[in-house]
Structures are given as structure tokens and as C-alpha cells.
Structure 1
Amino acid sequence: MNKLLFIALCAASGTTCAQTPATNPMPDGSRDMYVGLGVQSAPRWDGTGSRKVSALPVLQVQWSNGLFISGMSAGMHLSTDPVIEYGPLLAVQPGRDASGTGRSADGVGTYGPSLIGPVPEPLAKFDARPTRLDGMDKIGTRLTGGVFANYYVTPQWRLTSSLLYGAGNDHDGARLDLGVQRLAVDLGGQHHVSLSAGVAVANRNYNQTYFGVTAAEAARSRFTRYDAGGGLQDAHVGVRWNWAWSPSWMLTSNVQAKRLLGSADKSPLAERSTNLTVSTAIAYRF
């Protein structure tokens, strides 16, 4: 059960990070479910110096046939090998309007983000309406699809990967997440910590949607025109702490840091290169 509870790899802020609980042998016909509610402080969009605080739903369910739901993603474990996990994956990519990225949901164990380090001050050049994206095209919420594959180097360490396609208004954005996780470090009885780190690679269409500025957008917004290219998008690290109060109740807290790279970091929308996302929630196990 520890594997299911305490996995961390991409979390996500403005971009959806696929979340895949580990395979968990269960009696046929059974399921394991966590539901809860918490609060999250996150950047309004990737790279902004402005933050928002919002309610954070928590949902994680795993069935004995391999199906799972974790936060904003769902998929199915197809492998019977305990060392290798793979299968199809669906994930909801939140939309973005003038106020920033839409809301997300969490699992009790997720994929983690970026590099914790010095956080630069917001750039002074964005003095006019600094917390909004007025004039930028609205990006709709999208259902993306793809695959995941994980490999256990040891029972406590696993390499993770997921590839999702379909983001953006033209449904042609693709993102590859590669990471490593340390599962469920036992801090004594009720407390467990999991660690994660990784990088994300996006195609040009994905980066242009979320970090590019078209000529039309530049004419009606405070941003200059910018054509984003594909390649490395960010590096990320995450720490999740789960405190089990009882067999049914737990407090799950997550700190994720993301460092924009390449074309994303050079975007005029990127007011700062490094951002933190912090969340905490109470979850009940059914």
C-alpha cells in the first residue's frame, strides 16, 4: 500500500503532469479510494511572479484490474511484471484565460516538479497590469492522451516517463515527462516522505501555445511578439509529506519547484524563471 500512497513526480501548476500510482496487488473486484479537500498556492501561469490561492480537490482511486484515477489523470496498468509498469494514460490540461491557468486537482501521491533554488524578483518591465494576460488568446481546457512507462531500479526507486498529446487550442501540443522518484521514506510510523525530480520536453506547438505571443496578441497585449520553439521546457523537483492520522484519515502536503528552460524561459510571459507550488489537504480513505 505504501507505493500507492506516497509517490511524487510532476505536479502541476499551469501544465498538467501525469500522475500514475504504482501497481498495487489487490483482491479481485476490490478498490482503494481517497477523497479530500485542501488549499493550494501556485503561480497564476507558468513563469509569472503573481500567485493565486485556491481550493484543491483530492482524488485517488485504484481498482484491482489496474485502472486508476489520480488527480487530473487516469490510466490503466497493463504489466504483470513488478519491475516494469506501463499502460495508456489520459490527463486533463487546464485552460488559461486573462486571469491565468484554471484549477487543478491532486492525488495523495503525484508526479513532482522543479529545482528548489534562489527565486529571482519579478521583472520590473511588467509594471502595467502585472497580474493579468489581457489581450492573449484564451486557451481551452483539453483532454490529452498518451502512455506511461516506469521502471523500478530498486523497490524504493523508480524511473518514470509519460507522453501526452492533444494540448492547446489546436490539439497538437505534445509533452514528454521524464523523472526519478524515491518512494515513501518512513519517518516513523505515521509519517512518510517521497521525493521526485525530472525534466519536461515539449514540441513547438505546445510551447507556442503556452509561451508564444502571436502578432495579433502582441498588438492587443503588453507582450512583444515571440515565436517559441520545441525542446526542454522545465526541470522540476518535488517533496510530498503524508501524515496518516488513522487508517482512514491523512494530511497530505506537497512542495513543488519548477525552473523554466530553453524557449519557455526566454518567453516575454516568463517574468521569473523559478516558481514554487505549495499545497496541503485532508484526505479520507474509503
Structure 2
Amino acid sequence: MSGPYKISLPFYSALVLAALYGQQVFADETGRDLSGVIGIGLSSAPEFSGSDEDETSIIPIIDLTWRDRYFLNERGLGFYALRNSGPQNLSLGFSVGYDFNERLAEDDARLTGLRDVEAGAFISAHMEFQVGVAAVELEINHGISSDGHEGTRAIVGAEFGRTVGERLQLSAKPFLVWSDASYASAFYGVSGQEAAASSFTAYDAGSGFERVGIELQASYSLTPRTGLFVSVEHSQLLGDAKDSPISFDNAQTGISTGVFFRF
């Protein structure tokens, strides 16, 4: 849950596919070095966090695991220190990836005078484990690009899935996002210098819960290895993010759909 705007659909579409193949492991895949899902989709999501205008784009779907230890997915390139360990199937991973979440003045004329917050690299740690029927996920990521936000976010979610018949899979994942002051200031704050150059008054955005939301997913298997998916994510900005003059719409909704291939 990325995953919460420009990053939202690519981030969480990969999670959608991770859930799809993770819940359907084929017997003939046992022992394979490389396994996972690839595909392509179409997404419509807010131009930036807090935007009231949507952007439509083509998104690649990549979620690969090598020898059950190394991965390439929405979190980037990384490795598992633990993988499906113990009765709760505990997994712990670390990665380096690319954060597509950005806010550019060219996205909206109202942003003129504000500095651009560009996409950039980030480092991430995540933990996953099973609690009853829920797959709980906790992720902490930190931006490391000087032109980006250089902030830290923590995302916690719980996914509930169900199989209907032999082909249809449904899931719902509520999530909550916390961000530190660096992240909040970059995306929701207005410095004195920016206030002088723009139509906004100065605004200090601090750390706290940034948003709460839910992601609904559905996939339909056309064959044992191919299928279609659709994902709808809706979130509500909270706290300083909600009150920011740059947040033109506090309700953020994204939709993605596409085709995937398991191997």
C-alpha cells in the first residue's frame, strides 16, 4: 500500500498481483528459482497527493522472487531476511526502490511559486505476518534523493482475501499512513519564501497521520497462468495534510485494471 496520487496505483497494483500469485501457488512451480507475476495495466489517479485532478497512465506490473529470498516488486530490489517463518508466516525484507510520488508545478497552474518535489530513490523495510484471516503488513520507507521529499513514512495495513468459485479472488485492505515532518513539509507545507512567490499563505506541516484508506481488489483467472485484475483505492487525508492549502481535495481515489501472467 504501494503502493498512498502518482505513486498510488503503481505501488498498490504490484501488491494486488503479489496477493494474486501468493494465494495461488501451482504445484509445478515448486523448486523453481524464479517465480512471480508480470503484466501491464491502466491507472487513473490524482495528479499528486491532494490534487482534485486525475491523471491516466500505463503501468507495468512486476512482482518477482528469486529462490524465495530476493525480490523485485513495488518496493524495489531487495532481499528477505526472513521468509514465511513460524506459525504466523513471518517475513522481513529490506530493499532499495524508486518513489514515483512527486508534485511538480507543471502539474497544476495553482502550484506556481512552490518548489518541485521530484520522484526519487528510497530505502525500505517491511514486515508481513498472518493474524487469523488477516495478512498484516508494516512498511517503513525513507526518501534518499535530494530533489525529493527526503522524508519517512510508515504504512500499516491488513488484507482480507476470499476465493469465490475456482477463478475469482476478492480482497480488501484497510490501511493507515504516518509521515514525518520532512515528508509533510515537502508535500503539504508552504515556506515563507514559497508564500511570497505563490498565492498561498505560509503553512507549517508537521509529522502525524497523513491518510487512512482502503484498497479493494478483484482478479479473475482466464487460465491457470493468466488473468485480469481491477483495483480501487480510496483514502482520506488527515491532520496537517488535510488542512494544507495545497490539498485541493481531501478524498483521494484511484482505479487500476490490467492483465497479468504467472510463471
Band of TM-score, shorter chain: 0.7 to 0.9
Query: What is the RMSD of the two structures over their aligned residues, measured on CA atoms?
Result: 2.5
2:154 to 176, 180, 194: 176
1:243-279 deviations in Å (ceiling 9; x for gaps): 1111232111110011100111111111121111001
Secondary structure in 2 matching 1:205: helix
- Residue of structure 1 in register with 2:60 after alignment: 57
Shift of 1:140: 2.2
Alignment of 1:162-201 (within 5 A): 162-166=139-143, 169=147, 172-183=150-161, 185-201=162-178
Q: Which has the higher contact order (CA 8 A, sep 6+)?
A: 1
- Residue of structure 1 in register with 2:96 after alignment: 90
Q: Answer whether contact 2:43 2:59 (CA < 8 A) is retained.
A: yes
Rounded Cα–Cα distance in structure 1 between residues aligned with 2:50 and 2:122: 22
Shift of 1:171: 5.9
Rounded Cα–Cα distance in structure 1 between residues aligned with 2:109 and 2:259: 30
Shift of 1:47: 1.3
Q: Answer whether contact 2:119 2:148 (CA < 8 A) is retained.
A: no
Q: Answer whether contact 2:219 2:229 (CA < 8 A) is retained.
A: yes
Higher mean C-alpha displacement, 64-73 vs 46-55: 64-73
Shift of 1:10: 4.1
Q: Answer whether contact 2:149 2:186 (CA < 8 A) is retained.
A: no
Correspondence 1:269 to 2:246:
yes
- Residue of structure 2 in register with 1:127 after alignment: none
Secondary structure in 1 matching 2:183: helix
Q: Answer whether contact 2:37 2:61 (CA < 8 A) is retained.
A: yes
1:13 to 2, 5, 22: 5
2:82 to 73, 79, 84: 79
Secondary structure in 1 matching 2:115: coil
Rounded Cα–Cα distance in structure 1 between residues aligned with 2:36 and 2:250: 36
- Residue of structure 1 in register with 2:261 after alignment: 284
- Residue of structure 2 in register with 1:254 after alignment: 231
Alignment of 1:217-236 (within 5 A): 217-236=194-213
- Residue of structure 2 in register with 1:137 after alignment: 115
Shift of 1:29: 5.0
Q: Answer whether contact 2:44 2:55 (CA < 8 A) is retained.
A: yes
Q: Answer whether contact 1:28 1:65 (CA < 8 A) is retained.
A: no
1:40 to 43, 54, 60: 43
Rounded Cα–Cα distance in structure 2 between residues aligned with 1:37 and 1:72: 17
- Residue of structure 2 in register with 1:123 after alignment: none
Shift of 1:201: 0.7
More helix by share: 2
Rounded Cα–Cα distance in structure 1 between residues aligned with 2:104 and 2:245: 17
Q: Answer whether contact 1:93 1:167 (CA < 8 A) is retained.
A: no
Q: Please report the TM-score for the alignment, with normalisation by the length of structure 2.
A: 0.84
Gaps of 5+ in 2: none
Q: Please report the TM-score for the alignment, with normalisation by the length of structure 1.
A: 0.78
Secondary structure in 1 matching 2:194: helix
- Residue of structure 2 in register with 1:125 after alignment: none
Shift of 1:285: 2.8
Correspondence 1:243 to 2:246:
no
Q: 1:232 to 1:248 in 2, by over 3 A?
A: same
Secondary structure in 2 matching 1:216: helix
Q: Answer whether contact 1:44 1:99 (CA < 8 A) is retained.
A: no
Gaps of 5+ in 1: 1-8, 101-129
Q: 1:36 to 1:245 in 2, by over 3 A?
A: same
1:129-172 deviations in Å (ceiling 9; x for gaps): x6652222112222111311122112x31221011112563663
Q: How high is the sequence identity, in percent, across the aligned residues?
A: 21
Secondary structure in 2 matching 1:79: strand
